[in-house]
Amino acid sequence: MDKVCAHSRAQRGLILLALLLMMVLAGFGSLVGAEVWATTMQREREEQLLFVGDEYRRAITSYFQMSPTPVKVFPRSLDDLISDDRFPTPVQHLRRLYPDPITDSADWGLVKDGGAIIGVHSLSDASPLKKAGFPSRYKDFEVAKSYDQWLFVFKSQTPTPRLVRPKP
């Protein structure tokens, strides 16, 4: 009888050990799944930031290029992109003010020249996952250490003149 009880206890111990091992593996699997999900979500937010940031850059470019006076000007606030009242009928350069996909906030960092807005950037100091494969206008993003270094800025279509020195 003692042999039967000892054998039964050993089986129960093995079953408990197997259950414990299964719980540890399930927990590990859940952690890996959560990490994969978090990485996927961050990549989606990065793609959204690239899209929204470019929309702001395009709207600022449109605002500047459509200036009704000979002197071209930039917007003073992001609201100017939604309702440009420099015309008899207000012009919309942007449908609405988009939130920053990384911070999920309506607040953006503004790149200014004097009091005029020439670009936007995220206020997040988190490190981006994406390090390559940017459009040529955003090649600088490849060396950015954080999202707040991804600057979506107006760039003139006019090439910058280069100084050419005569050969001696």
Alpha carbons 166 and 64: distance in angstroms, whole number: 36
Predicted local distance difference test score (pLDDT) of residue 21: 77
Asked if 94 and 116 touch (Cβ cutoff 8 Å), the reply is no
Residue 106 lies in a domain: yes
Predicted local distance difference test score (pLDDT) of residue 23: 78
Residue 163 lies in a domain: no
Residue 8 lies in a domain: no
Residues 6+ apart with CB under 8 A from 37: none
Residue 23 lies in a domain: yes
Residue 158 lies in a domain: no
Residue 122 lies in a domain: yes
Alpha carbons 118 and 135: distance in angstroms, whole number: 19
Predicted local distance difference test score (pLDDT) of residue 6: 60
Q: What backbone torsions phi and psi does residue 84 show, to the nearest 5 degrees?
A: -85, 100
Report the Cα 154 to chain-centroid distance in Å.
18
pTM over 0.85: no
- For residue 46, the enclosing domain spans 13-153
Confidence of residue 22 (pLDDT cuts 50, 70, 90): confident
Looking at the 3D structure of the chain, how many domains does it have?
1
* Res. 1: pLDDT tops 70: no
State how far the alpha carbon of 147 is from the alpha carbons of 78, 111, 143, 152, in Å. Answer: 20, 14, 11, 11
What is the pLDDT averaged over residues 141-162? 81
Predicted local distance difference test score (pLDDT) of residue 14: 75
Alpha carbons 65 and 30: distance in angstroms, whole number: 52
Residue 50 lies in a domain: yes
Q: How much of the chain exceeds pLDDT 90, in percent?
A: 67
Reported as a single tens digit per residue, the pLDDT across 70-114 is 999 999 999 999 999 999 999 999 999 999 999 999 999 999 999
